[in-house]
Amino acid sequence: MNEIIGYSFIVIGMLFDIFGCLGLLRLPDVYNRLQATTKCVTLGTCGILFGTLVIKGFSGTGIKAILCILFLILTSPVSAHALSRGAHISGVKLWDKSVCDKYEEDRSVHSS
């Protein structure tokens, strides 16, 4: 029973991985790509690690899986935010159908 639940979690995680990589391939802009890959790949990898935890139980492998989940949840939004900020400062244009750019307004207010 544990193995069935764990393997279903792993399959859900693999589906999130595939959708994240499809978004990385198809979306038109750096920021849209970053949004798709960060959410989907982090959730997918955390799903795979949670499936490992369910299959193995609270042995040494399960404790390491919990540590890895905590570390990914803590660090992945930080790196995504830093990458998007770096891309905006380095002058990557938004997609031409984008609606608003609040960060540009903030930067122009603070610099003037």
Partner 1 sequence: MMKMLSKYKYLRWFLGLLVITSALVFITAFGFSSLLEWQSPFLSHCFFVLMICFSLCLFRIMRGPTPADRAVAVDTLGILIVGFCAILSIPTGRDWYLDIAIAWALQSFIGALALAKYLEGRGFDE
Binding site for partner 1 (CB under 8 A): 7, 10, 13-14, 17-18, 20-22, 24-25, 30, 33-34, 37, 41-42, 44-45, 48-49, 52, 55-56, 59-61, 64-65, 67-68, 71-72, 75-76, 78-80, 82-83, 85-87, 89-90, 92
Distance CA 58, CA 65 (A): 10
Residue 72 beta carbon to partner 1: minimum distance, rounded to whole angstroms: 6
> Which residue do the tokens 């995504």 mark?
80
List of long-range contacts for 59-63, beta carbons under 8 Å, 24+ apart: none
User: Toward partner 1, which CB reaches closer, 86 or 105?
Assistant: 86
Residue 70 beta carbon to partner 1: minimum distance, rounded to whole angstroms: 10
Distance CA 97, CA 105 (A): 18
Please count the other Cβ atoms lying within 10 Å of the Cβ belonging to residue 29: 16
